[in-house]
Amino acid sequence: LSSSSIEINSSSDFSSIILPRKTAFQLCNLLAENLNKLVISLSENKIKFQIGKIILTSKVIDGKFPDYQKVIPKDNDKSLLVPLNDFISSVERVVSVSIDRKEGVKLDIHKGKLNLSVNSTNSGDGNEVIPAKYDYEEITIGFNSKYLLDIASVIESKNIQLKFKNSTSPVLIHDNSDKDSFYVIMPMKI
What's the pLDDT tens digit per position in 104-155?
899 999 999 999 999 877 777 889 999 999 999 999 999 999 999 999 999 9
Q: Which residues of the chain have pLDDT under 70?
A: 10-13, 100-102
The whole-number pLDDT of residue 6 equals 81
CB distance 187 to 173 below 8 Å: no
End-to-end C-alpha distance for the chain, whole angstroms? 21
- pTM of the shown model: 0.83
Q: What pLDDT is stored for residue 177 in this prediction?
A: 92
* pLDDT attached to residue 100: 66
Region of 120 (left: φ > 0; alpha: ψ -120 to 50; beta: rest) is beta
pLDDT for the residue 35 = 86
pLDDT of residue 187: 95
